[in-house]
């Protein structure tokens, strides 16, 4: 029986429910282990005048206190731009930026020392908003553009034109296990770093560079993470380097575990975006031209911001064919922690901005937004090239959208809701659909590779190691199924081992939803190498003159733990027995596999190419209910329909879809990053930063997979599932937008649509007016612009 | 007097001494016992990853309830049996809760999972008859960032069909109860160095002993549920070396409704927990039970006390608008005697109140509704459950011939203290109860408050909510009246 397609449990599920699955801070302290912590910048920017560590040094139990000067090698790191200091050098860039690192014998001594360190900064005026950064031209890199046709002319000639500004907020990853690293010194300057990271190879490299070691002297291991969501793709670097620095300096094991507050204050999040848009469309809502300028809030250093922006631009048209289009993008530096990867990686920001445009068009024309969406969806036979020139093959969106509209009774419910809103004195309801198309592959081409190590033992059990890191998404479980199928084994005979640079070198981050695609394919490659050897050997063993069975590799079958010749299946050998015999015959029972995604390429300079291997597609319908007086929002029902090809593990994948959706719902409704004027994050713990809780889950939650068998290039015809469902939640925001549009307000509705934001809009509908509105959004509203072009050109 | 604490953990007896008595339960479990299945995320009782069950003697059994171990202090747990995730199954077998979670794909990263296992086990300890709604409602104290909760609810629903062993079966209570009974009458007193100072911890069993201690230690931190004190300690805001623990004092934990000549009165000891009050009020004041059900989370309501909410004196304390409109009375005791202060006179300024040195809040008396009074309570927060309020309000109104005979209107989170909107009340008295009147009242109410902008919302939002809450009240009354007419 095939393992693939079965909902086998997560490979750590029993460990999770018993508490026996260990996370970094659960590892026993070694006898000499030091507790490490840092002291962060008190200011968002300015020159460091003085770092006073004298008092801290005197505290009993303090073993070492270090600053940037103590880093022997590279003091800065960064994948694309080496601009991020490990510890602040001369100036500080954001509040909470690590400046001083302290190692102590006990947690109590560490805490006392941290309080005793005094960092004096001559504070400058921080830049916190995108608007300020634009004004001061604080941009990263060159402007990016993707363009097709003649957008300016087509918009000018269009019968209807709208323009506006759309704001989407940032989002904290809120992985439950905060950033963590433990470094163990080895012999001859070697280091073993256990890191809660999505990217063991990067940790290995940055640690080696900072400590001036060869990469071969550093091993990075990650057994599992307590969630990551992109937040540990690059941001695991600082804690790992700091722990490694202490281990290197002291020769003792060093443990650095962030607490939730310092994690939230000092690490990057999803980028906030400001999108200026201008659209031209016909009376039936079909878009003829769109210009959109995306500005992202990068934070203080580059991190992955350019790649994130790129993905926003590659998803700025969401699911729609737009004949004339211009997408411009700029990354804006601010004095916030460096914003970084977060599930969707810029895609959500681009797509939400597009859905905002759709709703604006529908509202302007008095149409059901679904009509506008369906009129603009990518076609299957025509209208199926993206703005960046990729042929959108196997487009199932028209079918998905119509199926979902029918199964969710969208039209009937919409009518009922409109009637109900006219009569209900307490509540308003709204409903919206939103389609989703998400490109799968790293847009940075070289990252689309993976290697795997497969070892067979003489009892027929298998260990597999890949560069994929397990953060809960179930990559190990899926690879387990893929490998078990290759050898015809039960999945219990296969184990996935901790991710380590010792076994898998030069790996890509576990990101871009593609880790099962890449690492699974590499593991299969390794399996097939071994299987080839075993097949040859088995053919020889199974051949029998007595049974008149000639030696034939073609007829060798691996199934249900047995190996046999198809012509005489009853004449079989246990898989383990075959492995034992193979060893005696000196046949190699281990192999390394490799995979590089074929056929993808993208030219950043021209904005053209084929960046994606394929697209994961889907749609969602969400219904919302709003308290007319408080703006409080509930989501009573959602219906999701998603095309993830042939699911390797429907149980795991369903978890990804529902979990991703709820996370996205948090982004579009309730999760609010609040900073003060000095750039300090005020919402830095779950007391003030509210991710969805159990009672926020829609009471009616329908989640279905679109039956689809056509993703032939990918492993076992599956599709990536990690990020895409998050963007289905844009439907929830759309439903709020619908409610407000029906009351002729909310043209400037921001994302997230918090109760406060909703009430601000409702108040403008004339129910009650606040004396002085704090957030005056009227300047940002959509206005029909017959003559002037309010979209400022940003490309040069 | 004992110089140690007696606790049972997963059935094993532990004597806790010295500075360990000041530790949080989670630090004790993880650091001292190596029970690392209990996870720490927030250290403020807001995520539930550290959830454990605490068994308290109740007759011949132990009554198990979920709490957040990260903000529970060891000294509070004297005389209790603590069950952690390690104490549930054997080395090979899984409990039905664990099996069901595995089968439903209800763990992804797994960091929150032990906390969910404990909360779900706790819910089953409270009731075996759980319906679909009870799972989301009962798990508001546990955050999960991966699953979106749906699979966890499904695991819960499946449990209906499984034979679940109760903790009293797993841990026969007789021996523990006997040992605890033997020690229960003795107060504990622990003296050791803590936070670099001489520390003193006193856990009396009689109120008079507590008041005597307080007289001699005026600056002692008085601790009951510690749902706020625990957070303040963890975040380094306070480091109380001298502590008076109220958890073992007879009578302070009682709560009930008395039916006197003036109608029903809720009488609660200062240490009565919110879950006790929620249970008591379900029949008599359903509106209060409804709003209490969104105070904190089950874990917080199992520990947090009514007295703590009052003495913490936060302008956003959830219960205060209710207590202000009901005109509750506070019984304040000291070694010199006792006095009764109406809660409407108690709060003086931000976090300042009429409690004299050496005084303790011992009891709260809340006159409950008469048949002609209409009560509505409001709590607006970013998230419905387990969130600190952006805005709170209580409206108690009595109507006669559609005229306002009596109105009491209290507002929270709109100034330094929770306030009664006296001008609005004065305006409304005698007026016709209609939309125009309420609109006019809303404007007056807005003039009575002084909200600030903070992390939970802008001042303007609070102004708007203050106005709108009166309108909402009016429309809610219309809707419910219409319903009543239909019912007749």
Query: Taking all residues of chain B, what is their mean pLDDT, rounded to a whole number?
Result: 95
Size of interface A-B (CB pairs under 8 A): 260
Q: Does B42 contact A177 at a Cβ distance shorter than 8 Å?
A: no
Q: What is the ipTM of this complex?
A: 0.97
The packing angle between helices A730-742 and A410-423, to 10°, is 40
Element (H, E) at A447: none
- Residue B457: closest C-alpha in chain A: A756
Q: Does A425 contact B110 at a Cβ distance shorter than 8 Å?
A: no
Residue whose token pair is 């076992």? A716
Q: What is the pLDDT of residues A730-789, one digit of tens each?
A: 999 999 999 999 999 999 999 999 999 999 999 987 655 433 333 333 333 343 333 333
Residue pair A626/A669 in contact by the 8 Å Cβ criterion? no
> Residues 6 or more apart from B487 whose CB is under 8 A from it?
none
pLDDT of residue A777: 35
Q: For the residues A303-312, what does the mean pLDDT come to?
A: 98
Chain length of chain B: 488
pLDDT of residue A795: 32
DSSP A233: T
> Comparing C-alpha atoms, which of B378, B372, B333 is closest to residue B356?
B333
- Interatomic CA distance for residues B81 and A534, integer angstroms: 57
Residue whose token pair is 């999770």? A16
A 205-224: CB under 8 A from B: 224
> Residues 6 or more apart from B67 whose CB is under 8 A from it?
B25, B51, B52, B53, B54, B299, B302, B303
Residue pair B191/B199 in contact by the 8 Å Cβ criterion? yes
pLDDT of residue A775: 34
Q: Does A693 contact B383 at a Cβ distance shorter than 8 Å?
A: yes
Residues from chain B that touch A686, judged by Cβ atoms under 8 A, are 41-42, 44, 46-47, 143
Say yes or no: A564 contacts chain B, CB-CB below 8 A.
no
Strands B197-203 and B188-194: antiparallel
- Interatomic CA distance for residues B108 and A475, integer angstroms: 11
pLDDT of residue A1: 75
- Residue A629: closest C-alpha in chain B: B468
pLDDT of residue A289: 98
Residues from chain B that touch A18, judged by Cβ atoms under 8 A, are 37, 85-86, 88-89, 94, 98, 114
Is 60 exceeded by the pLDDT of residue B488?
A: no
Residue pair A292/A327 in contact by the 8 Å Cβ criterion? yes
Strands A494-496 and A462-466: parallel
> Comparing C-alpha atoms, which of A102, A106, A96, A98 is closest to residue A116?
A102
- Interatomic CA distance for residues A551 and B218, integer angstroms: 94
Burial class of residue A664 in the structure, from the number of CB atoms within 10 Å of its CB (0-12 exposed, 13-18 middle, 19+ buried): buried
Q: For the residues A112-134, what does the mean pLDDT come to?
A: 98
Strands B403-412 and B391-400: antiparallel
Half-sphere exposure at residue A201, Cβ-oriented, CA atoms within 13 angstroms: 16
Residue A519 binned pLDDT confidence (cut-offs 50, 70, 90)? very high
Residue pair A344/A352 in contact by the 8 Å Cβ criterion? no
Residues from chain B that touch A760, judged by Cβ atoms under 8 A, are 460-461
Residue pair A293/A328 in contact by the 8 Å Cβ criterion? yes
Element (H, E) at B467: helix B459-487
A693, A698, A763, best to mutate vs chain B, most B CBs in 10 Å: A693
Q: Does B145 contact A229 at a Cβ distance shorter than 8 Å?
A: yes
The packing angle between helices B96-103 and B113-126, to 10°, is 130
> Comparing C-alpha atoms, which of A210, A277, A270, A271 is closest to residue A244?
A210
Q: What is the pLDDT of residues B297-323, one digit of tens each?
A: 999 999 999 999 999 999 999 999 999
Would you say the C-alpha torsion A120, A121, A123, A127 has a positive or negative sign? negative
- Interatomic CA distance for residues A66 and A51, integer angstroms: 11
Residue pair A328/A794 in contact by the 8 Å Cβ criterion? yes
Q: Does B114 contact A16 at a Cβ distance shorter than 8 Å?
A: yes
Q: What is the pLDDT of residues A231-243, one digit of tens each?
A: 999 999 999 999 9
- Interatomic CA distance for residues B436 and B471, integer angstroms: 10
The b-or-e profile of B368-400 (16+ CB within 10 A means b, else e) is bbeeebbbbbbbbbbbbbbbbbbbbbbbbbebe
**Residue B403 CB coordination number (10 Å):** 14
Residue pair A17/B101 in contact by the 8 Å Cβ criterion? yes
Q: What is the pLDDT of residues B120-162, one digit of tens each?
A: 999 999 988 899 999 999 999 999 999 999 999 999 999 876 6
3-state secondary structure of A464: strand
Query: Taking all residues of chain A, what is their mean pLDDT, rounded to a whole number?
Result: 95
Chain length of chain A: 796
Q: For the residues A490-505, what does the mean pLDDT come to?
A: 98
Residues from chain B that touch A759, judged by Cβ atoms under 8 A, are 461, 464-465, 468
The Cα of B178 is separated from the nearest Cα of chain A by a number of Å equal to 30
Strands A462-466 and A449-456: antiparallel
Q: Does B149 contact A697 at a Cβ distance shorter than 8 Å?
A: yes
Residue A317 binned pLDDT confidence (cut-offs 50, 70, 90)? very high
The Cα of A422 is separated from the nearest Cα of chain B by a number of Å equal to 15
Say yes or no: A474 contacts chain B, CB-CB below 8 A.
yes
Q: Residue B51 corresponds to which tokens in the numbers above?
A: 């959830």
- Residue B462: closest C-alpha in chain A: A756
Element (H, E) at A707: none
Q: What is the pLDDT of residues A405-457, one digit of tens each?
A: 999 999 999 999 999 998 899 999 999 999 999 999 999 999 999 999 999 99
Q: For the residues A603-620, what does the mean pLDDT come to?
A: 97
pLDDT > 90: percent of chain A: 95
Residue pair A48/A99 in contact by the 8 Å Cβ criterion? yes
Q: Which parts of A457-520 fold into alpha helices (H)?
A: 475-487, 515
Q: For the residues A173-200, what does the mean pLDDT come to?
A: 97
- Interatomic CA distance for residues A291 and A281, integer angstroms: 12
Say yes or no: A754 contacts chain B, CB-CB below 8 A.
yes
Q: For the residues A322-339, what does the mean pLDDT come to?
A: 98
B43, B107, B110, best to mutate vs chain A, most A CBs in 10 Å: B110
3-state SS string over A35-52?
Answer: EEEEEECCCCCEEEEEEE
Residues from chain B that touch A23, judged by Cβ atoms under 8 A, are 39, 111
pLDDT of residue A80: 85
Strands of A556-559's sheet, edge to edge? A556-559, A562-565, A568-574
Active site residues per annotation of A: 723
pLDDT of residue B161: 64
Q: What is the pLDDT of residues A701-739, one digit of tens each?
A: 999 999 999 999 999 999 999 999 999 999 999 999 999
- Interatomic CA distance for residues B84 and B171, integer angstroms: 13
> Comparing C-alpha atoms, which of B219, B248, B204 is closest to residue B76?
B248
Beta-bridged to residue A194, according to DSSP, are: A182, A221
- Interatomic CA distance for residues B407 and B399, integer angstroms: 9
Residue A328 binned pLDDT confidence (cut-offs 50, 70, 90)? very high
Residues from chain B that touch A629, judged by Cβ atoms under 8 A, are 465, 468-469, 471-472, 475
Q: Out of B47, B113, B145, whose CB is closest to A17? A: B113
Residue pair A307/A140 in contact by the 8 Å Cβ criterion? no
Say yes or no: A759 contacts chain B, CB-CB below 8 A.
yes
Q: Does B465 contact A426 at a Cβ distance shorter than 8 Å?
A: no
Q: Out of B36, B145, B479, whose CB is closest to A26? A: B36
pLDDT of residue B484: 64
Cα A792 to chain centroid distance, Å, stands at: 31
- Residue B30: closest C-alpha in chain A: A26
Q: Does A473 contact B108 at a Cβ distance shorter than 8 Å?
A: yes
Burial class of residue A337 in the structure, from the number of CB atoms within 10 Å of its CB (0-12 exposed, 13-18 middle, 19+ buried): buried
Q: For the residues B89-116, what does the mean pLDDT come to?
A: 94
> Comparing C-alpha atoms, which of A93, A96, A107, A99 is closest to residue A36?
A107
Q: Which parts of B261-407 fold into alpha helices (H)?
A: 274-284, 286-292, 298-303, 306-312, 320-326
- Interatomic CA distance for residues A593 and A316, integer angstroms: 36
The b-or-e profile of A598-619 (16+ CB within 10 A means b, else e) is eebebebeebbbbbbbbbbbbb
Cα B117 to chain centroid distance, Å, stands at: 21
Q: What is the pLDDT of residues A521-574, one digit of tens each?
A: 999 999 999 999 999 999 999 999 998 899 999 999 999 999 999 999 999 999
pLDDT of residue B10: 98
The Cα of B182 is separated from the nearest Cα of chain A by a number of Å equal to 34
- Interatomic CA distance for residues A246 and A182, integer angstroms: 10
pLDDT of residue A793: 34
Residue pair A471/B109 in contact by the 8 Å Cβ criterion? yes
Strands B51-58 and B61-68: antiparallel
Residue pair A785/A164 in contact by the 8 Å Cβ criterion? no
Q: Out of A14, A682, A686, whose CB is closest to B102? A: A14
Instruction: End-to-end CA distance of chain B: give it in Å, rounded.
Output: 64
Q: Does A686 contact B42 at a Cβ distance shorter than 8 Å?
A: yes
Q: For the residues A289-303, what does the mean pLDDT come to?
A: 98
pLDDT of residue B486: 53
pLDDT of residue B482: 77
Beta-bridged to residue B263, according to DSSP, are: B260
Q: What is the pLDDT of residues A73-94, one digit of tens each?
A: 999 999 889 999 999 999 999 9
Q: For the residues A575-604, what does the mean pLDDT come to?
A: 97
Residues from chain A that touch B135, judged by Cβ atoms under 8 A, are 694
pLDDT of residue B160: 74
Q: What is the pLDDT of residues B151-186, one digit of tens each?
A: 999 999 998 766 788 999 999 999 999 999 998 889
Residue pair B168/B61 in contact by the 8 Å Cβ criterion? yes
Residue whose token pair is 């002297």? A217
Q: Residue A730 corresponds to which tokens in the numbers above?
A: 């844009």
């Amino acid at each position: 029986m095939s393992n693939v397609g079965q909902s086998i449990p997560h490979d750590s599920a029993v460990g999770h429910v018993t508490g026996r699955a260990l996370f970094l801070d659960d590892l026993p302290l070694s006898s000499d282990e030091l507790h490490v912590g840092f002291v962060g910048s008190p200011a968002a920017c300015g020159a460091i005048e003085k770092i006073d560590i004298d008092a801290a040094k005197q505290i009993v139990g303090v073993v070492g206190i270090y600053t940037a000067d103590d880093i022997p090698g590279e003091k800065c790191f960064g994948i694309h731009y080496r601009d991020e200091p490990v510890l602040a050098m001369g100036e500080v860039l954001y509040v909470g930026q690590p400046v001083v690192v302290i190692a102590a014998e006990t947690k109590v001594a560490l805490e006392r020392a941290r309080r005793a360190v005094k960092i004096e900064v001559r504070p400058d005026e921080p830049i916190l908003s995108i608007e300020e950064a634009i004004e001061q031209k604080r941009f990263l890199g060159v402007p990016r553009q993707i363009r097709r046709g003649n957008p300016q002319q087509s918009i000018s000639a269009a019968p209807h034109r709208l323009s506006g500004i759309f704001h989407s907020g940032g989002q904290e990853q809120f992985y439950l296990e905060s950033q963590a690293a433990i470094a163990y010194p080895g012999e001859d300057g070697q280091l073993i770093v256990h890191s809660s990271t999505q990217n063991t190879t990067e940790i290995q490299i940055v640690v080696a560079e900072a400590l001036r070691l060869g990469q071969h002297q550093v091993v990075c291991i990650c057994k599992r993470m307590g969630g990551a969501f992109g937040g540990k793709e690059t941001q695991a670097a600082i804690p790992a380097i700091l722990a490694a620095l202490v281990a290197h300096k002291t020769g003792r094991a060093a443990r650095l575990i962030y607490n939730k507050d310092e994690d939230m204050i000092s690490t990057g999040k999803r980028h906030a975006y400001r999108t200026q848009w201008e659209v031209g469309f016909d009376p039936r809502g079909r878009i003829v031209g769109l210009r959109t300028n995306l500005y992202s809030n990068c934070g203080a250093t580059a991190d992955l911001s350019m790649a994130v922006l790129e993905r926003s631009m590659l998803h700025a048209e969401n699911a729609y064919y737009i004949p004339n289009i211009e997408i411009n993008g700029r990354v804006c530096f601010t004095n916030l922690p460096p914003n970084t990867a977060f599930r969707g990686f810029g895609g959500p920001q681009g797509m939400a901005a597009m859905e905002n445009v759709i709703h604006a068009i529908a509202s302007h024309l008095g149409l059901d937004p679904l009509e506008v969406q369906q009129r603009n969806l990518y076609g299957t036979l025509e209208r199926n090239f993206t703005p960046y020139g990729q042929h959108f093959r196997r487009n199932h969106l028209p079918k998905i959208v119509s199926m979902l509209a029918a199964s969710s009774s969208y039209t009937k419910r919409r009518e009922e809701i409109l009637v109900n809103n006219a009569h209900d004195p307490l509540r308003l309801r709204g409903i919206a659909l939103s389609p989703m198309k998400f490109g799968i592959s790293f847009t940075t081409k070289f990252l689309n590779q993976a290697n795997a190590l497969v070892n067979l033992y003489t009892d027929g059990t298998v260990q597999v190691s890949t560069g994929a890191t397990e953060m809960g998404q179930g990559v190990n479980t899926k690879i387990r199924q893929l490998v078990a199928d290759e050898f015809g084994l039960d999945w219990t005979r296969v184990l996935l081992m901790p991710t380590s640079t010792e076994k898998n070198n030069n790996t890509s981050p576990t990101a871009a939803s593609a880790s099962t695609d890449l690492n699974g394919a590499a593991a299969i490659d390794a399996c097939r190498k071994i299987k080839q050897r075993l097949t040859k050997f088995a053919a020889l063993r199974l051949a029998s003159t007595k049974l008149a069975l000639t030696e034939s590799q073609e007829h060798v079958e691996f199934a249900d733990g047995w190996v046999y010749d198809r012509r005489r299946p009853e004449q079989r050998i246990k898989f383990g027995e075959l492995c034992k015999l193979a060893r005696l015959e000196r046949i190699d029972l281990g192999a390394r596999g490799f995979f590089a995604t074929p056929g993808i390429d993208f030219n950043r300079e021209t904005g053209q190419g084929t960046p994606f291997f394929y697209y994961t597609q889907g749609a969602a319908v969400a219904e919302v209910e709003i308290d007319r007086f408080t703006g409080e929002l509930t989501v009573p029902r959602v219906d999701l329909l998603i095309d993830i090809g042939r699911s390797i593990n429907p149980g795991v994948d369903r978890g990804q879809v529902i979990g991703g959706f709820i996370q996205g719902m948090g982004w579009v409704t309730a999760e609010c990053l609040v900073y003060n004027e000095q750039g300090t994050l005020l919402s830095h713990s779950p007391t003030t930063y509210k991710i969805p809780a159990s009672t926020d889950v829609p009471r009616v939650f329908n989640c279905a997979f679109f039956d689809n068998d056509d993703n032939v290039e990918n492993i076992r015809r599956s599709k990536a599932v990690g990020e895409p469902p998050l963007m289905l939640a844009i439907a929830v925001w759309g439903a709020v937008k619908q409610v407000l549009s029906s009351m002729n307000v909310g043209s400037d509705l921001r994302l997230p649509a918090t109760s406060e934001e909703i009430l601000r809009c409702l108040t403008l509908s004339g129910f009650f007016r606040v004396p002085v509105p704090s957030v005056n959004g009227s300047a940002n509203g959509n206005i029909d612009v017959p003559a002037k072009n309010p979209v400022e050109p940003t490309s040069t | 007097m004992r110089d140690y604490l007696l606790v049972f953990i997963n059935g094993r007896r532990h004597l806790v001494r010295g500075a360990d008595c000041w530790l949080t339960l989670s630090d004790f479990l993880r650091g001292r016992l190596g029970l690392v299945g209990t996870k720490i995320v927030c250290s403020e009782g807001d995520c539930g990853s550290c959830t454990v069950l605490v068994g308290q003697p109740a007759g011949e059994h132990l009554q198990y309830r979920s709490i957040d171990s990260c903000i529970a202090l060891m000294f509070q747990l004297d005389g209790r049996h603590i069950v952690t995730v390690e104490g549930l199954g054997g080395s090979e077998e899984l409990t039905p809760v664990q099996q069901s979670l595995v089968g439903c794909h209800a763990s992804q990263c797994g960091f929150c999972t032990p906390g969910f296992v404990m909360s779900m086990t706790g819910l089953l300890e409270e009731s075996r008859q759980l319906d679909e709604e009870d799972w989301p409602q009962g798990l508001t104290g546990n955050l999960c960032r991966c699953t979106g909760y749906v699979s966890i609810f499904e695991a819960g629903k499946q449990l209906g069909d499984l034979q679940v062993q109760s903790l009293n079966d797993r841990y026969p209570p007789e021996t523990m109860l006997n040992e605890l009974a033997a020690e229960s009458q003795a107060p504990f007193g622990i003296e050791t160095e803590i936070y670099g100072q001489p520390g003193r911890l006193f856990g009396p069993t009689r109120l008079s002993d507590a008041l005597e201690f307080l007289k001699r230690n005026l600056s002692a931190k008085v601790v009951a549920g510690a749902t706020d004190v625990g957070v303040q300690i963890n975040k380094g805001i306070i480091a109380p070396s001298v502590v008076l623990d109220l958890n073992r004092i007879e009578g302070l934990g009682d709560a009930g409704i008395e039916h006197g000549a003036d109608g029903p009165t809720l009488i609660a000891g200062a240490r009565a927990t919110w879950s006790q009050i929620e249970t008591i009020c379900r029949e008599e004041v359903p509106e209060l039970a409804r709003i209490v059900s969104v105070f904190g989370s089950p874990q917080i309501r199992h520990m947090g006390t009514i007295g703590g909410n009052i003495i913490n004196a936060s302008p956003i304390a959830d219960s205060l608008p209710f207590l202000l409109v009901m005109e509750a009375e506070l019984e304040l005791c000291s070694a010199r005697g006792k006095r009764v202060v109406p809660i409407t006179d108690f709060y003086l300024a931000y976090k300042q109140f009429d409690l004299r040195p050496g005084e303790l809040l011992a009891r709260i008396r809340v006159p409950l509704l008469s048949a002609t009074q209409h009560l509505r309570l409001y709590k607006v927060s970013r998230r419905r459950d387990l969130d600190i309020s952006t805005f709170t309000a209580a409206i108690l109104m009595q109507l006669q011939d559609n005229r306002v005979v009596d109105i009491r209107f209290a507002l929270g989170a709109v100034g330094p203290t929770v306030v009664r909107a006296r001008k609005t009340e004065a305006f409304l008295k005698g007026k016709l109860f209609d939309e125009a009147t309420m609109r006019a009242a809303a404007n007056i109410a807005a003039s009575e408050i002084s909200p600030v902008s903070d992390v939970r919302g802008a001042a303007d939002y609070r102004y708007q909510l203050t106005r709108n809450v009166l309108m909402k009240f009016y429309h809610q009354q219309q809707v419910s009246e219409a319903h009543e007419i239909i019912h007749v």
